[in-house]
A and B are shown apart, each in its own frame.
Chain A
């Protein structure tokens, strides 16, 4: 690289660019990279196979929840802060998005952005008192906050403002065309994952991991704990908010049920299935969950029941999720096929 002829700044940019290019190239040659690319191409080709709104809907739900699960995984896996109230951000963004579309007639993307930003504001609002609490207490406090949101939105007294148990309904979908909707969700999913993985690999991600591994040590090295914890909280809230807004539009309405601990449970079960602190594992967990849930679509309670058992078993016996062992097994088969 002819660094001498270039100004210093330009050289750095070029180096960074070429570095990331070779990183991507190397990544695409590894087994994981190839698998990811094959899965992504597969997802792009799904609408060629079926244009049935119902079947595409399953994929869309899985995509929305993979963003949601990834937002939880980012917070828990990278910064070690377990939130059992991820549904707060999911729900509030769903409500705000629906409100702006239904009553202020804003385009869906603007409403979604506003909804997610309100989610971020909530993250900040909750983060300031809650981050005085360490680990386990934070989890419990966020869970209680989620319950309170649930009761506030369910409250009959607040019905004129918050919609009561009916919530907000009859909001238009993103697009009448199912295939178009599918691709919009796919783009949202891929972009969210890229950003989250990028943050995880960036300098800030390293700071987050140092807080997770040793917060006293991190503080001693001059890291402002509260600031970075809040940033992590807000990033997580933003992506949970995007998922919540998309979910509201996909379901064409939103009701207080989205604040239930059940939705936080969804995020946790999906992320844990795929493997905590892997981000991409959340997507696998989410698809697995919704395909399995489809088998029990007539008894929705049964699928949550079974997944509660699965989550207990996964946490108890396979702390790193089930994605990793399965991937390693797949790699053996792949090597066998290639004759390595």
Chain B
């Protein structure tokens, strides 16, 4: 018999992590109209910085260092690469794609290509319905819910959040009101990098990282965002949960080998049936 608790818990874990990733991806798209192909690298790089440094400076400082570095990397990638090319969508795609490759190869050249993991913050296990789960799972759940809630509050209440929303609704009108669009977009990319970084901080101890994983992160985020509707934050969270549970169910009831195919099936179905996604306002074509 397949323990149903396991399916649900694993689905929720994946969903909450992918919720964080898709949220950042969708935010950058909604504000700047930018599809950031290097989104996976934020996740990957955070994981590797923690892996490279935790033995010398301890896990807590490694996490803080990794998050600071990833936010700086996000800001720099916007200032140096995306902003100068803003008019040219094709160039942005190619440059973020090659940035993703740069980080993947950087890790392969200066590290190695085998999967690694890092220790979790809390040890031990918690038993639910007779099935023991690592305590790290609950750290992931609680952590990602808190972060998603804070992000939601930040976007709706804070000054930067309000300018982010203003820019995404009407860029020109917002600029006339004295909002600095470029700076707002930079903050958005930094927030998106931080969200991906937090996802890595939470999830890497429970799984592993390898150089090629950035692309999987990207393809899942993209599937969720297409499903939920491009630029809709609510859509990304809902989409993440649906995708997470679907993957988990496919893993347990059909075959783990097929769970990698879930994103593409989702994308194709959504594109054929409802191209704007479940919560999307604009059509994507």
Question: Is there contact, CB below 8 Å, between B271 and A268?
Answer: no
A74-94 CB contact bits vs B (8 Å, 1 = yes)? 001000101010000000000
24 example contacts (A-B, Cβ-Cβ < 8 A) are as follows A82-B90, A132-B271, A132-B275, A132-B285, A133-B285, A134-B285, A135-B89, A136-B90, A137-B284, A139-B90, A140-B35, A143-B37, A143-B215, A148-B219, A148-B261, A148-B264, A261-B101, A301-B108, A308-B105, A311-B94, A315-B85, A315-B94, A316-B81, A316-B84
Question: Is there contact, CB below 8 Å, between B109 and A302?
Answer: yes
User: Which A residue's beta carbon lies closest to that of B222?
Assistant: A140
> Does B267 reach chain A (CB closer than 8 Å)?
yes
Question: Is there contact, CB below 8 Å, between B109 and A312?
Answer: no
Checking A133, A144, A156 against B223 with a beta-carbon cut-off of 8 angstroms, the contacting residue is A144
Question: Is there contact, CB below 8 Å, between B94 and A305?
Answer: no
Question: Is there contact, CB below 8 Å, between A84 and B93?
Answer: yes
Question: Is there contact, CB below 8 Å, between A305 and B93?
Answer: no
Question: Is there contact, CB below 8 Å, between B108 and A82?
Answer: no
How far is A139 from B215 in the complex, measured between Cα atoms in Å? 14
A84-107 CB contact bits vs B (8 Å, 1 = yes)? 100000000000000000000000
Nearest-CB distance from B190 to chain A (Å)? 20
> Does B61 reach chain A (CB closer than 8 Å)?
no
Residues in A with CB closer than 8 Å to B106 are 305
How far is A10 from B215 in the complex, measured between Cα atoms in Å? 57
Checking B84, B102, B230, B268 against A308 with a beta-carbon cut-off of 8 angstroms, the contacting residue is B102
Interface residues in A, total, Cβ within 8 A: 45
Interface size class of B (residues with CB under 8 A): 35 or more
B176-209 CB contact bits vs A (8 Å, 1 = yes)? 0000000000000000000000000000000000
User: Which B residue's beta carbon lies closest to that of A155?
Assistant: B257
How far is A167 from B90 in the complex, measured between Cα atoms in Å? 33
Question: Is there contact, CB below 8 Å, between B215 and A301?
Answer: no
Question: Is there contact, CB below 8 Å, between A135 and B272?
Answer: no
B55-98 CB contact bits vs A (8 Å, 1 = yes)? 00000000000000000000000001100110011111111011
Checking A147, A302, A305, A319 against B102 with a beta-carbon cut-off of 8 angstroms, the contacting residue is A305
Checking B90, B98, B101, B216 against A147 with a beta-carbon cut-off of 8 angstroms, the contacting residue is B216
> Does B155 reach chain A (CB closer than 8 Å)?
no
Scoring B80, B88, B226 by chain A CB atoms within 10 A of each residue's CB, the highest score goes to B226
Question: Is there contact, CB below 8 Å, between A269 and B35?
Answer: no
B232-271 CB contact bits vs A (8 Å, 1 = yes)? 0000000000000000000000010110110110011001
Scoring A134, A147, A272, A304 by chain B CB atoms within 10 A of each residue's CB, the highest score goes to A147
Question: Is there contact, CB below 8 Å, between B264 and A144?
Answer: yes
A289-314 CB contact bits vs B (8 Å, 1 = yes)? 00000000001011011001101100
> Does A29 reach chain B (CB closer than 8 Å)?
no
> Does B99 reach chain A (CB closer than 8 Å)?
yes
Checking B37, B85, B257 against A157 with a beta-carbon cut-off of 8 angstroms, the contacting residue is B257
Question: Is there contact, CB below 8 Å, between B271 and A139?
Answer: no
Contact residues of A between 253 and 302, Cβ < 8 Å to B: 260-262, 265, 268-269, 272, 299, 301-302
Question: Is there contact, CB below 8 Å, between B263 and A139?
Answer: no
Question: Is there contact, CB below 8 Å, between B105 and A301?
Answer: yes
* Further pairs besides A84-B37, A140-B93: 19, Cβ < 8 Å: A80-B90, A82-B93, A132-B275, A135-B90, A136-B93, A137-B230, A139-B93, A140-B37, A141-B226, A141-B267, A143-B97, A143-B218, A143-B219, A268-B94, A302-B109, A305-B109, A308-B99, A308-B101, A316-B81
